[in-house]
Amino acid sequence: MDTVATTDFHHIYEPGFDAARPPLLLLHGTGGDERDLLGLGQTVAPGASLLSPRGQVLEGAMPRFFRRLAEGVFDEDDLRRRTHDLADFVEQARERYGIAAPVAIGFSNGANIAASLLLLRPEVLAGAALLRAMSPFAEPPQVLKKPPQADLVGKRVLMLSGAIDPIIPEENAKRLARTLSAAGASVDHRVLPAGHGLSQADIGLLKGWLLDA
């Protein structure tokens, strides 16, 4: 397992030993780094290859994948640019490491940019598990015509929200689920009796969902 510095993303690539499992793209939350979700990936998908980049934006000393203007208010121009940067990195990593299109597992800020990847660069991901995600755009890209509506037919998406999450309003998460469904994704949205942090229920549901991937 190596930590790699490139011109784009510091990242870890951990090769897998189970060819039947799709590789995972691990996207940390605010203040995390490329090591944060490795243990989760190993737990929920033993044997899968793991690709885990560090967000390039710093909020104080905390890495993120894109800028925000306030809690729950995103810099959407920066989000779009960072989404394309991340998508380009994933495509380069696939070629470098010889892996298939990954399933993203994103938590919080990482889940939000994973949702943006689905909407702006759907070809990059085989599917996604969005843990504590909110709608990345005030209006979905298909409404803004930037770009045309994403085609997510055949892509599976798991959304796990917290019923007592103080950061993400329930309706916001539901709106994201509707947006992804309208683009053709097969969305399984579960609301758990939890806050913003992950619980054992999240891990169990994620592990079962990945078994069917």
CATH architecture of 2-211: 3-Layer(aba) Sandwich (3.40)
User: Is 189 among the residues known to form the active site?
Assistant: no
Q: Which residues contact 14 (CB under 8 A, 6 or more apart)?
A: 1, 38, 41, 49, 50, 52
Structure tokens at 119: 């909407």
User: Residue 188: what pLDDT?
Assistant: 98
Q: How many helices (H) and strands (E) does the chain have?
A: 6, 12
pLDDT > 60? residue 3: no
The pLDDT, as a whole number, for residue 140 is 64
Q: Which amino acid is at 87?
A: A
Mean of all residue pLDDT scores within the chain: 92
**The pLDDT of residue 16:** 97
The catalytic position among 8, 181, 186, 196 is 196
| Active-site residue identified among 108, 116, 135, 161 | 108
Query: pLDDT tens digits for 74-123?
Result: 999 999 999 999 999 999 999 999 999 999 999 999 999 999 999 999 99
Among this protein's residues, is 33 annotated catalytic?
A: no
* pLDDT tens by residue, 11-38: 999 999 999 999 999 999 999 999 999 9
Q: Cα angle vertex 132, ends 123, 124, to 5°?
A: 10
Every domain of the chain and the residues it spans? 2-211
User: What pTM was estimated for this model as a whole?
Assistant: 0.93
123 Cβ contact list (under 8 Å, min separation 6): 101
Answer whether 49's CB lies under 8 Å from 15's CB: yes
- Note if 28 is an active site residue: no
CA gap 153, 181 in Å, rounded: 9
